[in-house]
Amino acid sequence: MSTREYTTFYLNDQLFAVDILCVREINRALDITPVHHAPSYIRGLANLRGQVITMFDLSEKMGRGLQPLGEGTFNLVLKTNEELAPIRDRENRPELYTASKDSISFMVGEIGDVIAVDAADIHESPANHSDIDGEFLSGVIRSNDSLINLINVQKVLEFHTEDDPSLVTA
Amino acid sequence: MMDESLLQEFVEESREHLESIEPDLLELERSGENTSDETINSVFRAIHSIKGASGFFGFENLKHFSHVMESVFMMIRDKTLSPSPSIVDVLLKGIDRLSEMVNDINNSESVNVADEQAKLEAILNSSFDADDNADDSTSEPSAEVAPAEESEFQKPAETTGDCPFDLNTPAVEHSVTTGQILYAITVYPKKDFSDTTPIAMLENLATVGELHQACTPHGENLVIDELPAHLDGETSSYETVHLLYGSVLEISLVPAALNLPEDQVVEAKDFKVSSLNENAAEAENTEVPDNTNNPFNFDADNVIHAKTGGQFLYVLAVKPEDFADKPVEGFIGTLSTVGTFLEGYTASKQSLTGQALSDELNNLAETTYILYASVLEEMLIPATSGLAESAIWPATTFTLPEGTPEPSPQQAPPQVTTPELIKPNKPVEVSTEHAAPPAKEPPSKTPATKSSSSGTSQESIRVRVDLLNRLMNLAGEMVLLRNQLTQKLANESSQVDGLGTVLQNINHTTTELQEHIMQTRMQPIGNVFNKFHRVVRDIARSLEKEIDIEISGNEVELDKSIVENLSDPLTHLIRNSCDHGVEPPDERVKANKPQQGKINLRAFQEGGQIIIAIQDDGRGIDAEKLTEKAIEKGVITQAEADRMSLKEKVNLIFHPGFSTAAKISDVSGRGVGMDVVKTNIEKLGGTIEVDTEVGMGTIIHLHLPLTLAIIPSLVVGVQEHQLAIPQINVVELINVRKDDVPKKIETVGSASVFRLRGKLLPLVKLSDVLGLTKTYTDPVTGEERDDRRLSLSERRQLMEHPEVEFAEDGRMMLPRDNDSGDRRAEPYQDLNIAVLKLGGKQYGLVVDHVRNLEEIVVKPLSQYLQGCKCYAGSTIMGDGSVTMILDVGGVAEQARLDFSKVEKEEDNREKADKAFTRNGSVEMDIILFALSNDDDADQFAVPLQQVLRLEKFALENIQLVGNKEYLTYQGHSLPLIRIDEHLPLDKHSKDTDEKEAYLILPRPKDGEREGQAAIIANRIVDVDTIAVTLESSHMKHPGVRGSAVVNDVITTFIEPEGFINANTPSLSQGSQPIHIAFPG
């Protein structure tokens, strides 16, 4: 059975993971320019070496409240779909999917270890476990006593117009 | 099959040729027979190049069609055909079809050109049935042959005239009328029958067509029945035998069907005398140029084949040192793929052909001149061969250089270009059927060669656009990094020696780098403009109008992507001008206009933007008709229309799906309207404005940014946020001093407006738009801003509902400024207003700070932000921070800015001003009031628009100074005027026992002075919109403009300011009233 690697990180005190193949880089907090009228989980835009990246509040998106800004917050910059495409083909992993064009950065808490997991050790996530909408998780990994929630990146990044306050209130 | 890049080259070249033909054609039409030869020749050359190359690439359809076109041009060139507009029509259409084929070259075979071809052939036939009469299908065959040198049936033998075949026999004619194509087949008896027999071939011929005639290379007719003998290699006395053959097979199929090499079958019309001449040369040696001065044998089989195959002949000088740093094999390989080495000449070894030539090339020991045939045009040879331009000559102009080492005795004279030499070579330039006229032809008639271009090879290369885009992005990022670097190191520069200089250099270099990379994408707008000569001409003809288009500013440069995307909108606008703008000639004459309409298309740069103006002198846009139409179509309602200003009505043409053409013409009015134009222009970051005058014409202005990617922007601040506004939208910046704020800011509807040079400018607060109100201290009204807004709109509602009500304090009825009595102590702040342009409209954006102008690189918005209409994109500033770019239209939308109300208000004010001066019924908003509470009191009216304020006050507050009444109002003494004291009235307002009255404060006309004096009204009767026809009043007094019956009561109309000015002389002298408190 194939082994996959995951980057783990904390949102609040809970451990989450995304497939390491989706991650372009991890860095410390950047200066964020807020964008008024943006959906609440878009905290703003930041400049990453000349590239504008969209700061995505994963915690807020999953209904767990805003990620506090500051020292303890890290940026998990994702590969764009374009960058991911060759990897997806090479690894034959059609589920590896991020945002179409934008450079997205997940704003997360402390970064954990990179873990290697057998595909067999990934279990279906229990419905509504730990108050997280199950649709945002693609599974859970059992590690020692704890559960690591596996983020369904594609699902999380899906953009619905109803998320957009300016479209709702207009 | 064909090298893809070579094909691409061909396509691009052909396109350029086609583009160059069109203006020439139009010139041809304009100047008719007086057109300069140069113009005609350039058309001819262009079409000829296309034909030649397409033949080489095997695009038969393209080749045939361009050939027919060429034939027509040839007639024009030879003055046997005069280019009438209808002929030019056909030719233009033909060019269109050629473009179509070229643009989709791989499907060019399937483009149906039958229509155009038939028309072209009709032109050919009607004027003279010359060489093209054997063309594919329709034309009548004829033995008559044009005297022109291009005659394809010329034949050296005198006995049978100029043509080896008699195309006029009934059999041949029948063959043509039954749809057969005539072919000339060349058979080499000694070579062609290695695997077949003459009889088998003839039988084969008979199965798919009809053999009409046969002749010898000398043009002697051969009896067909004797052909087997003539064709048999053993018995034949001829090198070649030519057959005239009719078949329904396409040319591509004939060689295969007959098992002959392709080059031995040509359409009869393409049949070249050269192939005859090849052998005729032997027979008529005296006619052939003296070869002794010629290093090359131009009569060799391979040379003739190359020429007849449409290839150009070049002479290349190859030196051993050319290959010091590269393998000669590469050179040979490349050139072999795109052409043929025909003959070599070295001074020592003399003529080399075949294997000897290739051996020589592979072991190059001395400078060798090579006769080389290729389809490539001259300008492409240097790049392809890697040789210097100076080492390449068209074979026609080649002369053996002086001082050629070891010149061979008979080539000693260095000038080799004798007339005799040129003649056979010259046509090489001009491929296929015009190639290689016999030497006896007068050289003056040969088509102009392209040798003139030899010195003007273009200093340009083709670069992929995506590469340029990438470069541009990088340059943009470089600029940002440079800015950051400069900022970060600003403080260090004094500490590190020389750092300042380095930074400065980096600064300059980066800027220059960026500018130049930008320039690579800049294209002259002429690329788009030039096609409009044609467009206008075509439309004018189809509409039977006379329209001249004047174009200027072709050289103005814009970003490539903008230029490309301008084509559609501009075409639409030009079409509109032609179709809806310019009237038919008779209508124009009736209107005292010149019969010929004029459209003026110009581009010019103004500041950081390009302005394109499209102006016509047509009938203009009738705003009222437009409005009617819009109502009829349900685009707007009558009520909406009533509220619209003139400009707004004109702007209805931008409404989606709106077309005003009464009739749908061929040209426009299909419902794809100006809204698309507007959208497209706005997509380019531009704006569009229409100005029109009925009967005089219309002018449309497009304002466009120079480039899409980097735009100059105004950086503004609101609270701690920083935003950028594209400069193209910024009209001006206004700073309103806090003292002036109350005077200059008013409210119309729910919007604040600013009086700017007599116009009302609706204001939008950036902080409101961004939703920053929570923490926001309003510079105008302080933190109570929100409350006030509510009350303002409530008051507005009063306006909209004529039943007048008063606020509890009785103070407010009309929309007012922010300076009512109890708020006068409020600390106003200075206002920064950026006046922004949105199409033809303007609004003011109130910001906290205006920072600076900065060139910014626009980054597209994330999909998550697409819903935020206020933003056009984002950018990274010099300090590295991300800044949002405001979308001027989106901001207005977000603020729900209602221009119509403001414009309506403007209109109304204008109307009110005019109301008193105009005759007839005028609709206006008025305040009706009386001077006492008696029902039968005299009724007066003032136009609402001329009133700044209407307020209730307690009569006891009136103070008397002498016999004059004053009221302390907003800290000033306000003189009060009683109308009855100045007019002959029965009732007197002072007699009232009421405790309260109203003061009517007029709106000062120049927007500067206010609070001069107020008129006292004892009772407000109504506020209403009524239609008034003023009659002169019996009361003659300044400020009384007349009377009218309103609600069955005779009402005297007062112009408040005029009345006050007339009755307070002291005020106009500027004296200040003295304050003396007087007990009421």
Taking an 8 Å cut-off on Cβ atoms, the answer to whether A36 and B772 are in contact is yes
Q: Are B609 and B726 in contact (CB under 8 A)?
A: no
Both tokens of B573, joined, read 């606008």
CB contacts < 8 A, A to B, total 81
pLDDT at residue A130 in the model = 59
Which residues are registered as beta bridge partners of B344? B352, B370
Mean pLDDT of the region B672-684: 78
Nearest alpha carbon to residue B573 among B552, B599, B540: B599
Which residue of chain A has the CA closest to B894? A170
B1065 near A CB under 8 A: no
pLDDT at A131: 64
- Write the pLDDT tens digit of every residue in A47-96: 887 788 999 999 888 888 888 887 888 999 998 887 888 888 888 887 78
- Categorize the per-residue pLDDT at B777 as very low, low, confident or very high, splitting at 50, 70 and 90: very low
Enumerate the residues of chain B whose CB falls inside 8 A of the CB of residue A166. Answer: 867-869, 894
CB contact under 8 A, B863 and A39: no
Residue of chain A whose Cα is closest to the Cα of B895 = A170
- What residues have CB less than 8 Å from B604, skipping those under 6 apart? B553, B556, B610, B611
Average pLDDT over residues B630-659: 77
3-state secondary structure of B1045: strand
Measured between beta carbons, which residues in chain A are less than 8 angstroms from residue B709? none
CB contact under 8 A, B480 and A50: yes
Do A36 and B481 count as a contact with CB atoms less than 8 A apart? no
Separation CA B456–CA B450 (nearest Å): 11
The neighbour count for residue A43, using CB atoms within 10 Å, is 23
Which residues of chain A are within 8 Å of residue B771 when distances are taken between CB atoms?
Answer: 36-37
Q: Assess contact for A110 and A64: CB atoms under 8 A.
A: no
HEC sequence for chain A: CCEEEEEEEEECCEEEEEEHHHEEEEEECCCCECCCCCCCCEEEEEEECCEEEEEECHHHHCCCCCCCCCCCCEEEEECCHHHHHHHHHHHCCCCCCCCCCCCEEEEECCEEEEEEEEHHHEECCCCCHHHCCHHHEEEEEEECCEEEEEECHHHHHCCCHHHCHHHHHC
8 Å CB contact between B643 and B904: yes
Q: What angle do CA B152, B157, B162 make, to 5 degrees?
A: 35
The region of weakest confidence among B21-30, B517-526, B692-701, B1025-1034 is B1025-1034
Given an 8 Å threshold on Cβ–Cβ distance, is A100 in contact with B894? Answer: no
At residue B768, the pLDDT reads 84
Instruction: Return residues 63-102 of A near B (CB < 8 Å).
Output: 99-102
Residue of B nearest to A169 (CA): B894
User: Would an 8 Å CB–CB cutoff place A128 in contact with chain B?
Assistant: no
How much is the ipTM here?
0.88
pLDDT above 80: residue B366? no
User: Does the pLDDT value for residue B66 go beyond 50?
Assistant: yes
Q: How many CB atoms lie within 10 A of CB A2?
A: 9
pLDDT for B899: 77
Higher per-residue pLDDT: A45 or B49: A45
Query: Which residue in chain B has the smallest CA separation from A56?
Result: B864
Q: Which residue has the higher pLDDT, B446 or B853?
A: B853
Query: For B859, which residue in chain A has the nearest alpha carbon?
Result: A52
Q: What is the mean pLDDT of residues A141-159?
A: 82
**B130: pLDDT strictly greater than 90:** no
Amino acid at B980: D
Instruction: Please tell me if residue A28 touches chain B, with a CB cutoff of 8 Å.
Output: no
User: What average pLDDT does range B797-816 have in this prediction?
Assistant: 35
Chain A residues with beta carbon closer than 8 angstroms to that of B772: 36
* 8 Å CB contact of B871 and A35: yes
| pLDDT category of residue B417 using cuts at 50, 70 and 90 | very low
pLDDT band at B716 (very low <50, low <70, confident <90, very high): very high
Sheet with A42-48, side-by-side order of all strands? A23-28, A74-78, A104-108, A51-56, A42-48
Give yes or no for B884 touching A (CB within 8 A). yes
pLDDT value of residue B810:
34
Token pair 């030039």: residue: B530
Is A40 an 8 Å CB contact of chain B?
no
| Contact: A52, B859; criterion CB under 8 Å | yes
| Dihedral angle over CA of B156, B157, B163, B166, nearest 10 | -160
Residue B551 banded pLDDT, cuts 50, 70, 90: very high
Q: In sequence order, what are the residues at sequence separation of 6 or more whose Cβ sits closer than 8 angstroms to the Cβ of residue B513?
A: B475, B478
Which pLDDT score is estimated for B317? 79
Give chain B positions within 8 Å (CB) of A42. 862, 864-865
Whether B66 has its CB under 8 Å from any CB of chain A: the answer is: no
Among all residues of chain B, which has the CA nearest to that of A99?
B863
**Cα within 13 Å of Cα(B272), Cβ side:** 27
Taking the Cβ of residue A35 and every Cβ of chain B, the question of whether any pair is shorter than 8 Å is answered with: yes
pLDDT surpassing 70 at residue B429? no
Report the mean per-residue pLDDT for chain B.
72
A160 near B CB under 8 A: no
Q: Where are the beta strands (DSSP E) in B273-431?
A: 312-318, 339-346, 350-352, 368-374, 392-394
Q: Is B772 on the interface with A (CB under 8 A)?
A: yes
pLDDT confidence of residue B228: 75
Specify the pLDDT at position B723.
92
B165-200, pLDDT tens digit by residue? 777 777 777 777 666 778 888 877 777 777 777 777
Indicate if the pLDDT at residue A169 is higher than 80: no
Per-residue confidence at B792, pLDDT binned at 50, 70, 90? very low
Q: Of B863, B865, B881, which has the smallest distance from its Cβ to A35's Cβ?
A: B865
Nearest CA in chain B to A158: B864
Q: Tokens standing for A141? A: 């990994």
Q: What mean pLDDT comes out for the span B556-563?
A: 84
Does pLDDT of A3 surpass 50?
Answer: yes
pLDDT at B133 over 50: no
Give the Cα-Cα-Cα angle B900, B904, B905 (nearest 5 degrees): 120
Residue B711 has pLDDT above 90, yes or no: no
Which residues on chain B are in Cβ contact (under 8 Å) with A104?
A: 862
Q: Which helix (H) or strand (E) holds B834?
A: strand B831-838
Minimum-distance CB partner of B884 among A35, A46, A50: A35
pLDDT band at B265 (very low <50, low <70, confident <90, very high): confident
- Residue B430: closest CA among B733, B148, B231: B148
Q: Where are the alpha helices (DSSP H) in B895-946?
A: 899-915
Per the CB < 8 Å rule, is B864 touching A52?
Answer: no
pLDDT digits (tens, 9 = 90+) for B26-41: 888 877 777 777 788 7
Token digits for B313? 């002949």
Measured in whole angstroms, the distance separating CA B725 from the mean position of its chain's CA atoms is: 26
Distance CA B380, CA B191 (A): 36
* A46 → closest Cβ in B865, B882, B884: B882
Tokens of B2: 């064909």
Contact A52 B771 (CB under 8 A): no
Say which residue, B1078 or B650, is predicted with more confidence: B650
| Exposed e or buried b per residue across B570-594, where buried means at least 16 C-beta atoms within 10 angstroms of its C-beta | bbbbbbbbbbbbbbebeebeeeebe
Q: How confident is the model at residue B132 (pLDDT cuts 50, 70, 90)?
A: very low
Residue B487 touches partner A, C-beta closer than 8 Å: no
pLDDT-based confidence at A105, cuts 50/70/90? very high
Which residues of B fall within a CB distance of 8 Å from A161?
Answer: 867
Range with the poorest average pLDDT among B125-134, B189-198, B629-638, B851-860: B125-134
Give how far A59 is from chain B: nearest CA, Å: 16
Query: How close does chain A come to B314, measured CA to CA in Å?
Result: 48
Give the single-character DSSP code of B401: P
Residue type, B56: F
Single-letter amino acid, residue A109: G
Q: Which of B864, B879, B887, B896 has the highest number of chain A CBs within 10 A, making it the mutation to test binding with A? A: B864
How much is the average pLDDT of B214-231? Answer: 75
Identify from A154, A160, A166 which residue to disrupt to test chain B contact, counting B C-beta atoms within 10 A and taking the largest count.
A166
Residue B85's CB is within 10 A of a number of other CB atoms, namely 13
Q: Average pLDDT for residues B799-823, to the nearest whole number?
A: 36
Q: Looking at beta carbons, which residues of chain B come within 8 Å of A51?
A: 477
* φ/ψ of residue B483, rounded to 5: -60, -45
Shortest CA gap A40–chain B (Å): 10
Q: Is A34 on the interface with B (CB under 8 A)?
A: yes
Residues of B within 8 A of A160 (CB-CB) are: none
Q: Is B868 an interface residue toward A (CB < 8 Å)?
A: yes
Q: Is B93 on the interface with A (CB under 8 A)?
A: no
The region that residue A131 occupies, defined by phi over 0 for left and psi between -120 and 50 for alpha, beta otherwise, is left
Looking at chain B, how many residues does it have? 1080
Taking the Cβ of residue A50 and every Cβ of chain B, the question of whether any pair is shorter than 8 Å is answered with: yes
Count the neighbouring beta carbons within 10 Å of the beta carbon of residue B382: 16
What is the share, in percent, of chain B residues with pLDDT greater than 70? 71
Q: Do A102 and B721 touch (CB under 8 A)?
A: no
Higher pLDDT, B615 or B1074: B615
Asked if B52 and B45 count as a contact pair (C-beta separation under 8 A), the reply is no
The answer to whether the CB atoms of A38 and B865 lie below 8 A apart is yes
